């Protein structure tokens, strides 16, 4: 599988590391809502289809990326720098 880094171009998957689900919202740090924290830490969705994920080009420019990847086919729909895009894929 190739991921096209915005800085480096198409690179092999082995150069990237998965950083997590980009759709999750962390509770406020001072929140004492244990259910919200439990859900944030332990409850993981298992979506089928396009999914927003954070990846890092650890073996290259080390940029953090927001990637939309189809979890069924592993097709990459879009790649953007994480700092310039939000979880919906729209650029800020
Ligand atoms: Zn790169």
Q: Based on the number of CB atoms within 10 Å of its own CB, is 89 exposed (0-12), middle (13-18) or buried (19 or more)?
A: middle
Domain range enclosing 65: 2-87
92 lies in some domain:
no
Residue 53 placed within a domain: yes
**39 within a domain of the structure (yes/no):** yes
Read off the pLDDT of each residue in 56-62 and give the average, rounded to a whole number.
Answer: 97
For residue 85, the CA-to-ligand 1 centroid distance in Å is: 16
CA of 10 to the centre of ligand 1 (A): 9
What CATH number is given to the structural domain containing 50? 3.30.2270.10
Q: Is residue 10 part of a domain?
A: yes
The model's pTM:
0.82
**pLDDT score for 86:** 61
How far does residue 14's CA lie from ligand 1's centre (Å)? 12
How many structural domains comprise the chain?
1
In whole numbers, what is the pLDDT of the chain averaged over residues?
Answer: 91
What stretch of H or E contains 41?
Answer: helix 34-42
From ligand 1's centre to the CA of 7, what distance in Å? 5
16 lies in a domain?
A: yes
Instruction: Pick left, alpha or beta for residue 53 (phi over 0 → left; psi -120 to 50 → alpha; otherwise beta).
Output: beta
The alpha carbon of 3 and the centre of ligand 1 are apart by a number of angstroms equal to 9
* Beta strand 50-56 pairing with 17-21: antiparallel
């Amino acid at each position: 599988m190739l991921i096209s880094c915005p800085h480096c171009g198409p690179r092999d998957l082995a150069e990237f590391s998965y950083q997590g689900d980009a759709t999750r919202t962390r509770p406020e740090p001072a929140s004492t809502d244990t259910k919200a924290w439990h859900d944030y830490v332990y409850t993981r969705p298992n979506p089928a289809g396009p999914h927003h994920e954070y990846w890092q080009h650890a073996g290259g420019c080390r940029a953090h990326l927001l990637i939309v990847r189809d979890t069924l086919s592993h097709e990459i729909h879009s790649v953007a720098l994480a700092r310039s895009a939000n979880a919906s894929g729209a650029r800020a």
